[in-house]
Amino acid sequence: MSAYTIGLDFGTSSVRALVVRVADGAEVGTAEHAYARGENGVLLSSGDPHVARQHPHDYLEGVRVTVRAALEHASRNDTLFSNAAVVGIGVDTTGSSPMPVNEHGASLVDDPRFAGDLDAHVWLWKDHTAAREAQEITALAHRMRPQWIARYGGVYSAEWYWAKLLHCVRVAPGVAAAAADWVEIQDWIPAQLTAQPVPIARGICAAGHKAFYDPQWGFPDAEFLGALDERLVRFGEHLKSVRVAHSGESAGGLSDTWANELGLRPGIPVAMGAFDAHLGAVGAGVQPGTLVKIMGTSTCDVMVAPLGAAPNTIPGLCGVAAEAVLPGHLSLEAGQSAVGDLYAWWTDRIGAGDHAGLSTDAAGLKPGQTGLLALDWNNGNRTVLVDQELSGLLVGQSLYTRPAEVYRALVEATAFGAKVIVERLEAYGVGVERVVACGGIAEKSPLVMQIYADVLGKPVFVSKSAQTCALGSAVAAAVVAGAHPDFGTAQRAMTGLKSEAYRPNPAAVSVYEHLYALYRTLHDAFGTQTELNLGHVMKDLLRIREETRTP
């Protein structure tokens, strides 16, 4: 009998369930559910644009709706399928998206005192209310625990666990006092599905990438937390007793209640949760030497290296953590703050054209022919400069510069930004042999993919699955269920690449080497405190453009 697993992918606005055959990765059933509450699933505050919260009931309702629908879809789709053949469930979520829970692990929104209190809800990843606290944590860590902050590229983000908890303690002390624990939704959802006893177990992914956890030193100590705020200390003490596990380990068996609700066998294992991007990398076939780029509005770049084979710290990388992606491996996370968002700025905000038309025109241009060069920093720089106070730049425009030329320059800028990340990884001994792209842009834009291949000088593959996050969760579930002995075996069976890769064109590679050198000059000039001569930049761009005109 064929075995199947379910991957649950909790995104910012919706949840998706994917039923996958473990033998070959066939995606036999799927369903999506948009969260009912808030604006596109996000609870906003009219008084503060930085607030972005979520209601935890949306997740549980989403599980009920999507799992049932995906199972029905699988039944119609695959005659071999039956609900009884589902052997495990995996979970990935956004993050850091923590929420306060009581001593039983229940959300405070279920407490009538806090039901209407936004601070008692899930603090969604993109909530930016804790900017000041993040700066405070960054400064303190540099003073007291430099080895911790080094893992995060030197900057602790307002989006992360401790910044949000500290902000809550200050602005909503009643909520904080009523909370026995703060848990990431990647941990809370598996705990709910398995009726897990408290304390809720922690996925090493969120713990390592967002909460200063490392197997070597554990969670932050009382001295550090007390120096931030005495009220944080008890949360740190609580964390000492929790189990920390990777997504190849079980969070528990599916509870009778949920099994009944979903029509699944009780007791089938639910994997420990992890972030969407990290299980997405698993679903895209991440392994040492493969850089997975999840390309959408921004990119998340994920690599792995066997523990001990790479340095624990790479300057400018926003996240290096143990076993967050694959057991036995260090996970290395980088990212670009604006990719699809940058292109959409030009098309939608400036109104310079639509993606289809501009892409067609831009594809007709040779590398260097625009005479333009851009920095991809309209939303700051996440890697390797880790500086939110950077902004966009465009240089080289004439009175004849057309919208499609700028569009191409913006695409090239994001590819140059990607190359900076690759060079940084390689400089620290993490070789990038191939690139696998997934996400909306990888699916939709051959122009972008070919430019990435030409700029990186490496083949760029595209993941076969269009749902790599949910697929990665299904892979984790297959490992936890014992359907495959390990991630490598499970990935070889269940994940794959589209047969056509984007191969670098040698002529383009050579032009982009020149343009990249200019990009690095601008990058270092505007992103660091280095004195540089830029008097050659505009002239070099003209010369490169002229050279494209000679046949």
Residues that bind its own copies (CB under 8 A): 338, 341-342, 345, 349-353, 371, 377-379, 389-403, 406, 525-539, 541-542
CA distance 379 to 341: 9
CA distance 72 to 368: 52
User: Which two structure tokens, joined as six digits, stand for 438?
Assistant: 């997934």
User: Which two structure tokens, joined as six digits, stand for 72?
Assistant: 């029905």
Q: Give 184 or 376: the residue with its C-beta nearer to its own copies.
A: 376
Q: Give 500 or 531: the residue with its C-beta nearer to its own copies.
A: 531
Q: Give 220 or 316: the residue with its C-beta nearer to its own copies.
A: 316
Minimum CB separation of residue 360 from its own copies in Å reads 16
Minimum CB separation of residue 392 from its own copies in Å reads 4
Q: Give 114 or 526: the residue with its C-beta nearer to its own copies.
A: 526
The residues pairing with 305 across neighbouring beta strands, listed in sequence order, are 330
Cβ pair 59, 148 in contact under 8 A = no
Minimum CB separation of residue 292 from its own copies in Å reads 24
Residues 6+ apart with CB under 8 A from 157: 134, 163, 318
DSSP codes of every residue in 423-447: HHHHHTT----EEEEESHHHHH-HH
- Burial of residue 539 (number of CB atoms within 10 Å: 0-12, 13-18, 19+): exposed
Minimum CB separation of residue 344 from its own copies in Å reads 8
Q: Give 9 or 387: the residue with its C-beta nearer to its own copies.
A: 387
Minimum CB separation of residue 379 from its own copies in Å reads 5
Minimum CB separation of residue 540 from its own copies in Å reads 10
- Going by C-alpha positions, the residue among 303, 258, 201 that lies closest to residue 6 is 258
- The DSSP output letter for 311 is -
- The DSSP output letter for 157 is -
Minimum CB separation of residue 348 from its own copies in Å reads 10
Cβ pair 25, 467 in contact under 8 A = no
The residues pairing with 380 across neighbouring beta strands, listed in sequence order, are 378
Minimum CB separation of residue 543 from its own copies in Å reads 9
CA distance 110 to 71: 29
- Going by C-alpha positions, the residue among 203, 196, 200 that lies closest to residue 254 is 196
Minimum CB separation of residue 525 from its own copies in Å reads 5
Q: Give 284 or 406: the residue with its C-beta nearer to its own copies.
A: 406
Tokens 């000088």 belong to which residue? Answer: 457
Q: Give 186 or 379: the residue with its C-beta nearer to its own copies.
A: 379
Q: Give 66 or 298: the residue with its C-beta nearer to its own copies.
A: 298
User: Which two structure tokens, joined as six digits, stand for 375?
Assistant: 């920095």
CA distance 114 to 4: 40
Q: Give 230 or 524: the residue with its C-beta nearer to its own copies.
A: 524
DSSP codes of every residue in 62-116: HHHHHHHHHHHHHHHH-TT--GGGEEEEEEEE-SS-EEEE-TTS-BGGGSTTTTT
Q: Give 116 or 535: the residue with its C-beta nearer to its own copies.
A: 535
Minimum CB separation of residue 425 from its own copies in Å reads 24
Minimum CB separation of residue 111 from its own copies in Å reads 38
Q: Give 533 or 550: the residue with its C-beta nearer to its own copies.
A: 533
H/E stretch holding 322 reads strand 319-322
Question: Residue 290 to residues 115, 490, 506: CA-CA distances in angstroms?
Answer: 45, 16, 21
